[in-house]
Amino acid sequence: MDRDVFVNFDPQDVPSPAFVIDAAAVRRNVALLEQVQRDSGATVLMALKAFAMPALAEQICPPLAGVCASGLWEAQLGRDHFGGQVHTYAPAFRDDEFDQILDLSDHVVFNSFSQWKRLRRRARAAAAARPAERPLRFGMRINPEHSEAEVALYDPCAPYSRLGVTQAAFEADELDGLSGLHFHTLCEQNVDALERTVEAFLQKFGSYLDRMQWLNLGGGHHISRADYDRARLQTLIQRLQSDYGVEVFLEPGEAAIIHCGILVCSVLDVIDNGIPIAILDTSATAHMPDVLEMPYRPDVWNTAAPGVLSHTYRLGGLTCLAGDVIGDYSFEQPLQPGQRLVFDDMAHYTIVKTTMFNGVRHPALVIYDSDNGQSQLVRRFDYHDFLRRHA
């Protein structure tokens, strides 16, 4: 746990289970992104796919210039609650949603020339109807075929990827009406990975930049991490701006929200099947799916690796999935039913990915503010939320 996050927070003070976000930590991350925006002249958007709580929108936009959306519903959320620009990209747009997406967005980014050719008549008509002060611009996501992501599941440049147009599929004679290019290739990376990607991009697609007004470098930039080289990022952005005359956009998600949230839960039972096992009122698969998908072992407050402290337990969830297990952890004292546990760093790509599998109670949403010790219960979920998904 970072010591300046959740200062004076008591897990007993919130419902169980609950996702709790420290607003002061969000402000600190966003301030670092804003500094990049100010110093480099790039426009920084927050990726709603990583975190989408309107209750914190005012701490995010402004200072940031707006949001990037993965489709209609995120675009609507961005327009209604976050303010600023809305840039929408999806691997494909549905016919019946496209006009609304055009209406809500400032940039619409296509994933293929076939989608562009099929939808461009409607796109151009919407752009022509826009007032000059709110232009609607279009771009193409390209695939520089340069892999930097360490995990294949998160690598948009893996062989046979469906994300972005490769050099071989690029239709240079269909660029009329497109004013920008977009790539997203990184995942939790520093600027060296971006530099290498930019080189690969320039080699394959640099010759088209004189016909473009803007370049979007996607997300995956771990800008708020202590070792991220923000000065080098600024140099890179300014080189792109001056050498190619393009506006530069960044759309980080995780960097805005990393180390800002926790998942508070309770021990319901302790059993033994060769090892002590604690059953919690939460679930890996329903409430922290990346633990199983990525997979990774989240930190739990006041614990150590198995065997280090006197009492080791396997922590398991409440669903029927046999593999609904978070991991093995050791504790100073034996676990008791009713005791609160805290999973660390459970905000980005967590709240947005939950399910109500098995009808497990969905964690409440709470905002805490380390700067003043105040907390706000944003939402509790009940049976009717579960019912509404099915009836």
Ligand X SMILES: Cc1ncc(COP(=O)(O)O)c(C=O)c1O
Task: Point out which residues bind ligand X (CB under 6 A).
Answer: 47, 49-50, 68, 89, 184, 187, 218-220, 251-255
**How near is the Cβ of 23 to ligand X at its closest, in Å?**
19
State yes or no: cis peptide before 135, omega within 30 of 0.
no
What is the chain's percent helix, strand, coil content, to nearest 5?
35, 25, 45
User: Who contacts 242 (Cβ-Cβ below 8 Å, separation ≥6)?
Assistant: none
**How near is the Cβ of 336 to ligand X at its closest, in Å?**
37
Smaller CB separation from ligand X, 84 or 220: 220
Tell me the C-alpha distance between 164 and 195, whole Å: 19
Smaller CB separation from ligand X, 22 or 254: 254
C-beta of residue 352 within 8 angstroms of C-beta of residue 51: yes
User: Who contacts 199 (Cβ-Cβ below 8 Å, separation ≥6)?
Assistant: none
**How near is the Cβ of 169 to ligand X at its closest, in Å?**
18
**How near is the Cβ of 242 to ligand X at its closest, in Å?**
25
Smaller CB separation from ligand X, 17 or 139: 139
Smaller CB separation from ligand X, 22 or 251: 251
CA distances from 155 to 39, 70, 141, 161, 168 (A): 29, 17, 15, 8, 19
| Residue least distant from ligand X (Cβ) | 219
Give the 3-state secondary structure of residue 213: coil
**How near is the Cβ of 185 to ligand X at its closest, in Å?**
9
Smaller CB separation from ligand X, 78 or 218: 218
C-beta of residue 37 within 8 angstroms of C-beta of residue 20: no
Angle at the Cα of 80 from the Cα atoms of 77 and 83, rounded to 5 degrees: 100
Smaller CB separation from ligand X, 252 or 316: 252
Smaller CB separation from ligand X, 155 or 328: 155
Angle at the Cα of 83 from the Cα atoms of 126 and 90, rounded to 5 degrees: 55
C-beta of residue 59 within 8 angstroms of C-beta of residue 81: no
- Give me the residue label for tokens 């008791």: 336
**How near is the Cβ of 304 to ligand X at its closest, in Å?**
29
Radius of gyration of the chain (CA): 22
Smaller CB separation from ligand X, 193 or 278: 193
> Which helix (H) or strand (E) is 195 found in, with range?
helix 191-205
**How near is the Cβ of 46 to ligand X at its closest, in Å?**
9
Tell me the C-alpha distance between 39 and 237, whole Å: 10
**How near is the Cβ of 70 to ligand X at its closest, in Å?**
7
